[in-house]
Amino acid sequence: MDDDIILETSGLTKEFKGFFAVHSVALRVRRGDIHALIGPNGAGKTTCFNLLTKFLAPTEGTIHYKGRDITRANPADIARMGLVRSFQISAVFPNLTALENVRVALQRKLGNSFQFWRSERSLLGLHERAEELLDSVGLADFRDVPAGELAYGRKRALEIATTLALDPEMLLLDEPMAGMAHGDVDRVAQLIRRVSANRTILMVEHNLSVVADLSDRITVLQRGEVLAEGTYAEISSNPEVIEAYMGSGHD
């Protein structure tokens, strides 16, 4: 049973000067699931996310990833363990081309990243894989365009390609649909589904139809605490959730 849990928190708490942004959260993410973290504004989703990705240190509680305690690990280390995050604002390297963006992620495993005396040509071997990844998100035609010049939806696609370059076991997506046009939402949702094939995904997302469509399990946060957890069907029929989050106006 416990083998099925890839990420687990217990008593996870973040206090900002007397304010509990996240309070005693116990989260269990099953291997292979798409798990969504939802909740009204100020529920502590983003704080929770930053705790999991180690960009914030918890006040109390523990985080275990694949049975290892990562409560005190630093963000670069957990990325090396296969737990990779995305960002709410599209996180690309704007002055690098699309290809270079993906390549820089592939490059780390090569182990030559401190070699300032070697030519860039030593990275040519990565181009094939980088192009495959760009192709998989529909960016093949943009390989030499600086990422900063790409349209918003394409930046997000590039970010996903870059993340996939690490071949992570688990992805943490911070509002993957934020600020996206309608057409892009469907495309990225498909992409997430495709990517989830042999991975675990935990995402914070506002777009409820996306959550309903993609998620295996959902955790609802309210005022820093877990309000409910279950499938979309269970969650959406939970009176407390309807009261707190969806409001009476929701169908």
Partner 1 sequence: MNGRIIAAAALAIGILAPFTGIYTVFLMKALCFALFACAFNLLLGFAGLLSFGHAAFFGLAAYVTAHGVKEWGLTPELGILAGTAVAAVLGLGFGGLAIRRQGIYFAMITLALSQMVYFFCLQAPFTHGEDGIQAVPRGYLFGFIDLMQPMNMYYTVLAIFVFGFAVIHRAVHSPFGQVLKAIRDNEQRAISLGYRTERYKLAAFVLSAALAGMAGSTKALVFQLASLTDAHWHASGEVVLMTLLGGMGTIAGPAVGAFLVVAIQNYLAESGAWVTIIQGVIFIIVVLSFRRGILGEVVGFVAKRKATPAAKPLEPRPASAITGE
Three-state DSSP class for 29? strand
Q: Which ranges of the chain does DSSP label H, i.e. alpha helix?
A: 45-52, 75-80, 98-107, 127-136, 152-165, 182-195, 208-214, 232-237, 239-241
Min separation Cβ 226 and partner 1, Å: 25
What is the C-alpha separation between 80 and 65, in angstroms, rounded? Answer: 12
Three-state DSSP class for 28? strand
Site for partner 1 in 165-204 (CB under 8 A): 166
> Please, are residues 78 and 66 in contact by the beta-carbon 8 Å criterion?
no
What is the C-alpha separation between 110 and 248, in angstroms, rounded? Answer: 54
Residue 201's alpha-carbon distances to 61, 159, 243, in angstroms, are: 22, 15, 27
Site for partner 1 in 79-118 (CB under 8 A): 79-80, 84-87, 91-97, 100, 103-105, 107-108, 110, 112-118
Does the protein bind partner 1 through residue 76 (CB under 8 A)? yes
Does the protein bind partner 1 through residue 72 (CB under 8 A)? no
Min separation Cβ 80 and partner 1, Å: 5
What is the C-alpha separation between 242 and 8, in angstroms, rounded? Answer: 26
Min separation Cβ 113 and partner 1, Å: 5
Min separation Cβ 68 and partner 1, Å: 16
Min separation Cβ 204 and partner 1, Å: 15
Please select the residue that binds partner 1; options are 144, 247, 249, 251, rule is CB under 8 A: 144
Nearer to partner 1, 157 or 226 (CB): 157
Task: Give residue for tokens 């997430």.
Answer: 192
What is the C-alpha separation between 31 and 46, in angstroms, rounded? Answer: 22
Site for partner 1 in 116-135 (CB under 8 A): 116-120, 122-123
Nearer to partner 1, 153 or 168 (CB): 168
Min separation Cβ 201 and partner 1, Å: 15
Min separation Cβ 189 and partner 1, Å: 22
Nearer to partner 1, 3 or 120 (CB): 120
Number of residues that bind partner 1 (CB under 8 A): 44
Residue 155's alpha-carbon distances to 2, 59, 90, 92, 208, in angstroms, are: 37, 34, 6, 7, 23
Q: Pairing mode, if any, of strands 225-230 and 68-69? A: unpaired
**Residues of this chain that bind partner 1 (CB under 8 A):** 53, 55, 74-77, 79-80, 84-87, 91-97, 100, 103-105, 107-108, 110, 112-120, 122-123, 144-146, 148-149, 162, 166
